[in-house]
Amino acid sequence: MTGLHTPPRATARPGARRSRPRPFRRIPAAARWCALIAFLNAVVWAFVTPVFHVPDETSHVAYVQYFAETGLVPNIQDGDGISMEEASVMDALRFNATIGNPDQLAIFSEAQEGVLDAAERDRLDPSSGGGIIETSGQPPLYYALGAAVYHASPWKGLTQRIMLIRLLSALMAACTTLLVFLFLRELFREPWTWTVGALAVAFQPMFGFISAGVHPDNLLFAASAALLFGVARAFRRGLTPALGAGIGAAMAVGALSKLTFVALLPGALLALWLLLWSARDRRLAFQGAAIAVAVLVAAVAVYGALNAVAWDRALLGGGVENAANTAVNAGDPAPINLGQQLGYTWQLYLPRLPFMLDQFDHFPPYEVWFRGMIGKFGWLDTQWPGVVYGVALGLHAPLVVLAGLALWRRRSGLAARWPELLAYLAMALGVMGSIGFLGIRFTHDTGFGFAQARYLFPFLAFYGAFVVLAGLGAGRRLGRPLGALLVLLAMTHGLLAQLLVVSRFYG
């Protein structure tokens, strides 16, 4: 894996006229195909999933609409969280009666469609939202892009606009897949592995399902994949100003798309420092690192200025603390101590140790992360029959062994790549820690579970790498057939997931 492969630089023939291929042309054709396939799959998900039935889509639509209608971020104390138009459309779609009731169909008759048409024609005040809800503290980049689509839409009905914004999300899924391909190209020597890993991500059903929604996670996933690709490339080819600008852009987009990305930044900054420390050309690397940080700082500064001047809220929009406090009841009289915090975070990912307080009535590594990856659709109300998760576990177990085998065979290369691995580890720990930090507060105050598998999707590139390693673990003879089989399994998994959602809402 890491470190064994340095992609060859393009070499020009002596005497040949030097011409730089256009950036799009420099992307391998296979990567572009993978991106197109991911886009098409996400488009299908967008039409399969009824409007508002992606987790939190109601509040993300509210943010987009308020931003589009007023140019402001939602920041009204005690204001309505969603507009009257959105509320009437939700009523017409019978959303509140469908969510959480897996045996209840989405609207099924022309009469109900007529009610929806009337709600969309009447357009009750579309700018009447803006109240502070759980998404209000989030930065506005995804919502601003969504607002542009909202305005550009030739249709003025809210459900129609939502479908177009979903297509924007599908484009972001295509970008994520493309960047995963490029990340894998940095990591692995064998070209077939890049396609196999990227397609496994493209057809991952939870990724496809979230890509179908009006959801800033989609920009977060793309920015995270871009960051991982930039870091992997820089560790192999050296940090240059151009690469620094790319890493900086990824950090800026990520930081302005969702607060979760803040948890990746310490790891990203550590990566820059390690790149600087290990650079052959320190001056060039320093320029690259400086540009990366400058791009991030400039973006955050502009965002801070907008918050302070145009939107009348805290410089960073309230940041993580605001998100946590808005999602739950702040000011709880029984504060969470450090031991509880650490125990909760540990148990989210690992078996509980004997001295730890039992924080869950289930085993999160299986219930939250594994089952969540296999599929919990809708607002977690559409799940497979239990036996499917068991079969999936049975299929994954040998893959884990094979991936471990591949890593073992490449252990010497891995050891040489410790700075890069350390950077990835720091990013992963940052995100995992942030889920624990927010999760215990949410559960403490509401009694509900917090974590969802998608919270780890900033590391979809690692999921692709896992699939590739499983293929490589099968050895030289069987690696390719197994890789092909894993792609077919991913496609089948995705197809069955789409049928599951179709049967739940329409069947």
Partner 1 sequence: MRVKVVLGAGLALVAGLVLVLLLGDAQRRAGGNYVPEFGPVTELRGADRRCERNQLVPGDSGALSLLVGTYERPTPEIEVTISDSDGRPVSSGRLPAGQAEGRVVIPVERVEDTTAGLDVCIATGPGGRTVLYGRGRDVRLVWMRPGSESYLALLPTVAHRFGLGKLNPFGAWLMALAALVLAAAWLAALRLVLRQAGQ
Provide, for the chain, the percentages of residues in helix, strand and coil under a 3-state DSSP scheme, each rounded to the nearest 5: 70, 0, 30
Q: Could you tell me which stretch among 104-112, 227-235, 285-293, 382-390 binds partner 1 (CB under 8 A)?
A: 104-112
- SS3 state at 449: coil
Does 112 bind partner 1 (CB under 8 A)? Our answer is: yes
Residue 478 burial (CB count, 10 A): 13
Residues 6+ positions from 266 with CB-CB distance below 8 Å: 426, 427, 430
Residue 113 touching partner 1 (CB under 8 A): yes
Residue 472 touching partner 1 (CB under 8 A): no
Residues 116-135 vs partner 1: string with x where CB under 8 A? x-------------------
> CA of 265: how far to CAs of 96, 272, 294, 346, in Å?
37, 10, 14, 21
The answer to the question of residue 205 lying near partner 1 (CB under 8 A) is no
Residues 149, 164: contact at Cβ < 8 Å? yes
- List the beta bridge partners of residue 383: 376
Among 100, 390, 398, 404, binds partner 1 (CB under 8 A): 100
What does 200-247 look like in DSSP terms, one character per residue?
A: HHHT-HHHHHHHTSS-THHHHHHHHHHHHHHHHHHHHH---HHHHHHH
SS3 353: coil
Is 209 a binder of partner 1 (CB under 8 A)? no
Element (H, E) at 376: strand 376-377
Among 8, 9, 14, 103, binds partner 1 (CB under 8 A): 103
Contacts of 338 (CB under 8 A, 6+ apart): none
Q: How far is CA 244 from the centre of its chain?
A: 22
Residues in the chain: 507
Is residue 285 within a helix (H) or strand (E), and if so which, with residue range?
A: helix 282-305
Which CB sits closer to partner 1, 418 or 506? 506
Q: Which residues contact 35 (CB under 8 A, 6 or more apart)?
A: 174, 175, 177, 178, 181
- Residue 476 engages partner 1 in binding (rule: CB under 8 A): no
Given 6, 25, 71, 97, the residue binding partner 1 (CB under 8 A): 97
Largest Cα span, the chain: 76
Backbone angles phi, psi at 377, to 5 degrees: -105, 180
In the list 6, 101, 412, 446, the residue contacting partner 1 (rule: CB under 8 A) is: 101
Q: Which of 149, 172, 184, 199 forms a contact with partner 1 (CB under 8 A)?
A: 199
Residues 351-410 that bind partner 1 (CB under 8 A): none
Least distance to partner 1, CB of residue 49, Å: 9
Q: Any contact of residue 83 with partner 1 (CB under 8 A)?
A: no
**Rule CB under 8 A: is residue 204 a binding residue for partner 1?**
no
In the bound state with partner 1, the residue whose beta carbon lies nearer, of 33 and 370, is 33
Of the ranges 90-98, 328-336, 417-425, 439-447, which one interacts with partner 1 (CB under 8 A)? 90-98
CB of 418 to partner 1, least distance (A): 31
In 3D space, the residue among 268, 175, 267 whose CA is nearest the CA of residue 220 turns out to be 175
C-alpha to C-alpha distance for 245 and 227, rounded to whole angstroms: 11
* Nearer Cβ to partner 1 (104/278): 104
Contacting range for partner 1; rule: CB under 8 A; set: 9-17, 236-244, 424-432, 475-483: 475-483
Choose one: 285-293, 299-307, 368-376, 480-488; the region binding partner 1 (CB under 8 A).
Answer: 480-488
Q: How far is the CB of 48 from partner 1 (least distance, A)?
A: 7
Cβ–Cβ < 8 Å for 67, 140: yes
Residue 34 found at the interface with partner 1 (CB under 8 A)? yes
Stretch that binds partner 1, among 309-317, 362-370, 397-405, 492-500 (CB under 8 A): 492-500
Is 27 near partner 1 (CB under 8 A)?
Answer: no
315 contributes a contact to partner 1 by CB under 8 A:
no
Nearer to partner 1, 121 or 280 (CB): 121
Stretch that binds partner 1, among 109-117, 267-275, 282-290, 300-308 (CB under 8 A): 109-117
Residue from the set 76, 84, 144, 164 that interacts with partner 1 by CB under 8 A? 164
Give CA–CA dist 323/111, Å, rounded: 40
DSSP label at 377?
A: E
Please state the φ and ψ torsions of residue 383, each to the nearest 5 degrees.
Answer: -125, 160
Q: How many of the chain's residues bind partner 1 (CB under 8 A)?
A: 64
Q: Given the rule CB under 8 A, which of 254-262, 334-342, 413-421, 477-485 is the region that contacts partner 1?
A: 477-485
Whether the CB-CB separation of 21 and 172 falls below 8 Å is answered with no
Q: Name residues contacting partner 1, limited to 36-75 (CB under 8 A).
A: 36-37, 40-41, 43-44, 47-48, 50-51
Q: How far is the CB of 185 from partner 1 (least distance, A)?
A: 12
- Measured CA to CA, the distance from residue 134 to residue 448 in angstroms comes to 15
What DSSP designation does 379 have? T
Which among 154-162, 171-179, 219-227, 453-461 is the span making contact with partner 1, rule CB under 8 A? Answer: 154-162
Instruction: Using CB under 8 A, list all residues that contact partner 1.
Output: 30, 33-34, 36-37, 40-41, 43-44, 47-48, 50-51, 93-94, 97-98, 100-101, 103-113, 116, 155, 157, 159-160, 162-164, 191-192, 194-196, 199, 202-203, 480-481, 483-485, 487-489, 491-492, 495, 498-499, 502-503, 505-507
